Amino acid sequence: MIFITGGTGLVGAHILLKLTQEGKSVRALKRKKSSFSIIEKIFNYYNQGELLQKIEWIDGDLLDILSLQNAIEGCDNVIHCAALVSFDSKEVEKMMQFNVEGTANIVNTCIKFNVLKLAYVSSIAALGNSDSDIEKIEDNYWKPNPHNTAYSVSKYLSEQEVWRGTQEGLDAVIVNPSVILGPGNWSKGSSQLFEKVWDGLKYFTTGSTGYVDVIDVANVIVRLSESDVVNERFILNSENLAYSQVFEWIAEDLNRPKPNIKVTPFIKELAWRLEWVKSLITRKSPLITKETANKSMVNSSYSNAKISKTLSYKFIPIRESIQKYSTWFLSEKTSP
């Protein structure tokens, strides 16, 4: 039996799809009021809706140790991909508790029930920021830096809980995906790139980062979970691309105008401040924060050499990913 956290989200749903397609016994954690809309949509994208019946769902919470013990007992492997992603200063404390304490609870429960291996889905954010444009590898560890986001800190500290578990006898692997592209909730996470371009995004920034298809993330985490590889971490990244290039490809596939206004440092500073004022009025989380605005101007690149060599794995080209997900996005927007 394999236990999954975050199963109702983008990454977790694709992991569950992969495992059920392989005929594996799976158990997944959900909150009592969790919606199944995203995972149902994702399974149906691949015409695999009937496989949803193969999942054993357990009500619980990462911060509820008793519910975790009930869920993990009897499981051989655990894949932990649940996380709170936020760049809103008002949610920092909540994010730290959910990501760090929640991961500690997972680790402790795995140790208690002698789980064979824990696979943790971290993020390139855990590598931290640096002033260097050198391509980052797994040996680039997080360092205190004024440009590190609170999310970055939370993922770094979460990884430390996993490494602490390995010192107590738990076998584990960690993956650090770059920006994950995939279908599902087009108004949340990186999937909202398609929504923003569809709505007429006019601005582009000078920064760049890494991108990876969610299918690659699911495939690799499952293979690592089943492998003899232990106590290692791997960057999952298909390509390093400029934000402007990704926006152009999405605009082209959605038949929308390409963003044509370059964001200057002045526009960047003005944008996040206006969003902050707007959030005070609407009482909604700002779409742009100081952290995300600064990040969008930085050029970052990530190496996939380690995982490519370890598993002889070949990543899906990002242009191909964008074409596929744009088609699915349009099918929803243009359907009656």
The distance from CA 155 to its chain's CA centroid, rounded to whole angstroms, is: 11
Asked if residue 290 belongs to a domain, the reply is: no
Residue 90: predicted pLDDT: 78
39's CB contacts (< 8 A; 6+ apart) are 7, 8, 12, 13, 16, 52
Asked if residue 202 belongs to a domain, the reply is: no
Residue 326: predicted pLDDT: 96
pLDDT in tens, the chain (336 residues): 999 999 999 999 999 999 999 999 999 999 888 889 899 999 999 999 999 999 999 999 999 999 999 999 999 999 999 999 887 777 889 999 999 999 999 999 999 999 999 999 999 989 876 556 789 999 887 777 777 788 889 999 999 999 999 999 999 999 999 999 999 888 887 888 898 899 888 887 888 999 999 999 999 999 999 999 999 999 999 999 999 999 999 999 999 999 888 777 767 677 667 666 766 676 665 656 666 666 777 888 999 999 999 999 999 999 999 999 999 999 888 766
Q: Rounded to an integer, what distance in angstroms lies between the CA atom of residue 163 and that of residue 142?
A: 14
61's CB contacts (< 8 A; 6+ apart) are 29, 31, 67
Residue 275: predicted pLDDT: 67
Asked if residue 25 belongs to a domain, the reply is: yes
Q: What is the residue whose two structure tokens read 């108004």?
A: 187
Asked if residue 336 belongs to a domain, the reply is: no
Pairing of strands 77-80, 117-121: parallel
73's CB contacts (< 8 A; 6+ apart) are 113
The number of domains in the chain is 1
Residue 187: predicted pLDDT: 80
Asked if residue 199 belongs to a domain, the reply is: no
SS3 of residue 211 by DSSP: strand
Q: Rounded to an integer, what distance in angstroms lies between the CA atom of residue 19 and that of residue 25?
A: 8
Nearest to 190 by CA among 218, 223, 213: 213
Residue 145: predicted pLDDT: 75
CATH number at residue 97: 3.40.50.720
Q: Rounded to an integer, what distance in angstroms lies between the CA atom of residue 107 and that of residue 120?
A: 10
Residue 130: predicted pLDDT: 59
8 Å CB contact between 110 and 5: no
**CB burial readout 122-154, b (16+ within 10 A) else e:** bbbbbbbbbeeeebbebebebeeeeebbbbbbb
DSSP assignment of 218-240 equals HHHHHHHHHSS--SEEEEE-SEE
Name the residue range of residue 84's domain. 2-181+211-238+301-316
Asked if residue 279 belongs to a domain, the reply is: no
pTM value?
0.92
Residue 263 half-sphere exposure toward CB, CA atoms < 13 A: 23
Asked if residue 114 belongs to a domain, the reply is: yes
Nearest to 156 by CA among 169, 137, 143, 172: 143
Rg (CA), the chain: 20
180's CB contacts (< 8 A; 6+ apart) are 10, 11, 189, 190, 211, 212, 213, 214, 217
Asked if residue 23 belongs to a domain, the reply is: yes
